Structure 1
Amino acid sequence: MKTKMLCLNILAFLLLQNAFGQINGKLVAADGKPLVFANVSLLKAVDTLVVKNTQTNANGIYHIENIAAGTYKLRLSSVGYQTWDSPVFEINSRSANKDLGTTVMQESTRQLGEVVIKASKPLYQQRPDGMVVNVESSLMTKGSTALQVLERSPGVVIDHRNNSINLNGKGGVMVMMDGKLMRMPMDQVVNMLSGMNAANIEKIELLSTPPAGYDAEGSAGIINIVTKKNKKQGTNGSFSATGGYGWGEKGMTSLNLAHNTKNVNLYGSYTFSHDRTYTDLFITSSQNMPFWGGDVAVIFDSYAKRVQNDQNASVGADIKVNTKTTISGNLTYNTSNAALITTNHAGYNVLPDSLLMYDGVNTFQNRWNNLVSSISIDRQINTNDKISFSADYIYYHNDNPSQVQTSFVNKHGEVAGTNDSLNSPQQRGFAATTIKVGVAKVDYTKQLNPKLKLETGIKGTYTTSASSSGLESLLDNNWVKRTESANEIYMKEGIGAAYASFNAQISPSMNLTVGARYEYSYTDMTDPNTGKSLVNRKLGVLFPTILFSKKLNENAELQLSYSKRISRPTYNDLASYVGYSDPTAVYTGNPFLKPTITNNIKLGYNYHDYSFSLLYSRDDNPIARYQLSTGPSKDLLYISPQNLSYQNNLTFQANLPFKVSNWWDMTYSFTGGLSQFKGGGYSAFPFQKSYFIYTFNFNESFKLPKKYSFELSGWYNSQWYNGTTKINGLGSLNAGIKKELNNNGGSFQLSVADILRSIRVHVYYGTLTQEPFNIKSYVDVRTESSKFPIIKLTYSKSFGSIHASGQAKQTTGDERDRLRKD
Structure 2
Amino acid sequence: MRSYILSVSFILLSFCTFAQNTGGKGKLIGKVIDATTQQPVDYATVSVFKQGSTSPFNGISTDEKGTFNIQSIAAGDYRVTVDFLGYKKYIVEHVIVKDGGTATIGTVLLQPNQNQLKGVDIIAKAPIIENRIDKMVFNAQNDLTAQSGAAIDVLKKVPQVTVDIDGNVELQGNANIRFLINGKPSSIFGASLADALQAIPGSQIKSIEVITSPGAKYDAAGTGGIINIILKDSKVSGINGSVNLTAGTRQENGSFNLNARKGNFGVNAFFSGNAMLNTRALNTNKRTSSNPDGSRSELFQDGYADTKRSGYQSGLSFNWSITPKDDLTASVGFDHFGNSNKGITNQEESLYGISGALLNDLNSIRNSESRFSAYSTDLSLNYKKTFAKEGQELEFLITTSSSKNTVNYFQRQDYDAPMMTATGTRGYNPGRDRETNISLDYTHPVTKNFSLEGGAKVVLENLTNTINTDTLDAAGNYLNNANQTYGFNYKRNIYAGYISTTASLFKNFLDVKLGLRNEYTTTNADFPGVVIPGYNTVAPSAVISHKLDATQSIKLSYSFRIERPDYGEVNPFYNISDPHNISTGNPNLKPEKSNSVELGYNRSFNSGANFYVGSFYRHNTDDIQQYTTQFDTLVVNGDRYTNVLLSQRANRGTQSTLGGNIFASVPVGKLNLRSNIFIANRWNTAPDPANNNAIQRVSAFNYRINLNANYQFPNNFMAEIFGNYNSSARTLQGTRPQFFWYNFAVRKQFLDKKASIGLVANNPFNKYVDQYSTTTGVSFNQESLRQMPLRSFGITLSYKFGKLDFAKDKEKEGRDNNGGTDIPESGGGK
| TM-score for both structures, normalised by structure 2 | 0.85
Cα distance in 2 for partners of 1:379, 1:369 equals 34
Cα distance in 2 for partners of 1:18, 1:492 equals 56
1:370-449 to structure 2, matched below 5 A, reads 370-384=376-390, 385-410=392-417, 414-416=418-420, 424-449=422-447
Cα distance in 2 for partners of 1:525, 1:629 equals 29
Structure 2 partner of 1:499:
498
Structure 2 partner of 1:732:
741
Cα distance in 2 for partners of 1:606, 1:74 equals 25
SS in 2 for 1:573: helix
Q: Deviations over 1:695-726 (max 9, x none)?
A: 11110011123322110101111112444241
Q: Contact between 2:32 and 2:110, CA under 8 Å: does it hold in 1?
A: no
Cα distance in 2 for partners of 1:733, 1:264 equals 44
Between 1:342-351 and 1:679-688, the stretch displaced more is: 679-688
1:261-272 to structure 2, matched below 5 A, reads 261-272=262-273
Matched, 1:650 2:658: yes
Cα distance in 2 for partners of 1:213, 1:66 equals 31
Q: Contact between 2:684 and 2:698, CA under 8 Å: does it hold in 1?
A: yes
Output the amino acid matched with 2:425: Q
Structure 1 partner of 2:371:
365
Deviation at residue 159 of structure 1 after TM alignment: 3.8
Deviation at residue 105 of structure 1 after TM alignment: 1.8
Structure 1 residues 90 and 221, CA gap change in structure 2 (3 angstroms): closer
Q: Contact between 2:659 and 2:678, CA under 8 Å: does it hold in 1?
A: yes
SS in 2 for 1:106: strand
Q: Deviations over 1:413-449 (max 9, x none)?
A: x243xx6xxxx43421222221111111111112222
Q: Deviations over 1:614-673 (max 9, x none)?
A: 110001122223634656779653222222211111111100112222x11101110102
Structure 1 residues 297 and 64, CA gap change in structure 2 (3 angstroms): closer
Q: Among residues 555, 558, 561, which one is paired with 1:562 in the alignment?
A: 558
Deviation at residue 88 of structure 1 after TM alignment: 4.3
Output the amino acid matched with 1:443: D
Q: Deviations over 1:175-214 (max 9, x none)?
A: 1111112345666122121121111112112211111111
Q: Contact between 2:195 and 2:309, CA under 8 Å: does it hold in 1?
A: no
SS in 2 for 1:343: strand
Cα distance in 2 for partners of 1:715, 1:583 equals 36
Cα distance in 2 for partners of 1:607, 1:41 equals 20
Q: Deviations over 1:302-358 (max 9, x none)?
A: 311122221111111111111111111111111123222121111111222311112
Cα distance in 2 for partners of 1:39, 1:128 equals 19
Gaps of 5+ in 2: 1-20, 353-357, 605-609, 810-830
Q: Among residues 149, 164, 167, which one is paired with 1:144 in the alignment?
A: 149
1:623-772 to structure 2, matched below 5 A, reads 623-625=624-626, 627-628=628-629, 636-661=644-669, 663-680=670-687, 685-686=693-694, 687-744=696-753, 746-757=755-766, 759-766=769-776, 771-772=777-778
Q: Contact between 1:125 and 1:611, CA under 8 Å: does it hold in 2?
A: no
Structure 2 partner of 1:234:
238
SS in 2 for 1:280: strand
Deviation at residue 519 of structure 1 after TM alignment: 0.8
Deviation at residue 583 of structure 1 after TM alignment: 3.1
Cα distance in 2 for partners of 1:637, 1:215 equals 36
Q: Contact between 2:186 and 2:401, CA under 8 Å: does it hold in 1?
A: no
Structure 1 partner of 2:339:
338
Matched, 1:553 2:549: yes
SS in 2 for 1:147: helix
Structure 2 partner of 1:303:
304
Structure 1 residues 102 and 304, CA gap change in structure 2 (3 angstroms): same
Q: Contact between 2:660 and 2:679, CA under 8 Å: does it hold in 1?
A: yes
Cα distance in 2 for partners of 1:158, 1:66 equals 43
Deviation at residue 588 of structure 1 after TM alignment: 0.8
Structure 2 partner of 1:201:
205
Cα distance in 2 for partners of 1:106, 1:501 equals 30
Cα distance in 2 for partners of 1:51, 1:716 equals 42
Output the amino acid matched with 2:208: I
Q: Deviations over 1:105-162 (max 9, x none)?
A: 224155144677676544333334343222123210221111111123233233445x
Deviation at residue 34 of structure 1 after TM alignment: 8.3
Matched, 1:126 2:135: no
SS in 2 for 1:217: coil
Deviation at residue 555 of structure 1 after TM alignment: 2.5
Structure 1 residues 526 and 692, CA gap change in structure 2 (3 angstroms): same
Structure 1 residues 428 and 74, CA gap change in structure 2 (3 angstroms): closer
Between 1:263-272 and 1:183-192, the stretch displaced more is: 183-192
Q: Contact between 1:110 and 1:806, CA under 8 Å: does it hold in 2?
A: no
Structure 1 partner of 2:114:
111
Q: Deviations over 1:521-547 (max 9, x none)?
A: 1111114xxxx4523221111111111
Deviation at residue 287 of structure 1 after TM alignment: 1.5
Cα distance in 2 for partners of 1:356, 1:476 equals 19
Q: Contact between 2:314 and 2:334, CA under 8 Å: does it hold in 1?
A: yes
Between 1:273-282 and 1:33-42, the stretch displaced more is: 33-42
Structure 1 partner of 2:452:
454
Structure 1 residues 280 and 35, CA gap change in structure 2 (3 angstroms): closer
SS in 2 for 1:191: helix
SS in 2 for 1:710: strand
Deviation at residue 450 of structure 1 after TM alignment: 1.8
Structure 2 partner of 1:6:
none
Q: Contact between 2:247 and 2:253, CA under 8 Å: does it hold in 1?
A: yes
Structure 2 partner of 1:811:
none
Deviation at residue 81 of structure 1 after TM alignment: 6.3
Deviation at residue 54 of structure 1 after TM alignment: 1.9
Structure 1 partner of 2:518:
518
Structure 2 partner of 1:817:
none
Cα distance in 1 for partners of 2:22, 2:135 equals 39
Q: Contact between 1:390 and 1:441, CA under 8 Å: does it hold in 2?
A: yes
Q: Deviations over 1:62-107 (max 9, x none)?
A: 33655466x555444555666555574667xxx6455334601224
Structure 2 partner of 1:9:
none
Structure 1 residues 804 and 550, CA gap change in structure 2 (3 angstroms): closer
Q: Deviations over 1:19-49 (max 9, x none)?
A: 97645333253869686654143453xx686
Gaps of 5+ in 1: 1-16, 808-822
Cα distance in 2 for partners of 1:654, 1:354 equals 56
Cα distance in 1 for partners of 2:458, 2:215 equals 18
Q: Contact between 1:42 and 1:53, CA under 8 Å: does it hold in 2?
A: yes
Q: Contact between 1:128 and 1:548, CA under 8 Å: does it hold in 2?
A: no
Structure 1 residues 294 and 762, CA gap change in structure 2 (3 angstroms): same
Structure 1 residues 748 and 82, CA gap change in structure 2 (3 angstroms): closer
Cα distance in 1 for partners of 2:688, 2:213 equals 29
- Aligned length, in residue pairs: 758
Q: Deviations over 1:385-423 (max 9, x none)?
A: 21111111111121111222220233xxx243xx6xxxx
Cα distance in 2 for partners of 1:205, 1:21 equals 32
SS in 2 for 1:105: strand
Q: Contact between 1:62 and 1:508, CA under 8 Å: does it hold in 2?
A: no
Structure 1 partner of 2:813:
none
Q: Contact between 1:470 and 1:578, CA under 8 Å: does it hold in 2?
A: no
User: Sequence identity of aligned pairs in percent?
Assistant: 19
Q: Contact between 2:364 and 2:414, CA under 8 Å: does it hold in 1?
A: yes
Deviation at residue 594 of structure 1 after TM alignment: 1.5
Cα distance in 1 for partners of 2:53, 2:709 equals 43
Structure 1 residues 284 and 35, CA gap change in structure 2 (3 angstroms): closer
Output the amino acid matched with 1:763: S
Structure 2 partner of 1:62:
69
Between 1:433-442 and 1:271-280, the stretch displaced more is: 271-280
Cα distance in 1 for partners of 2:365, 2:257 equals 47
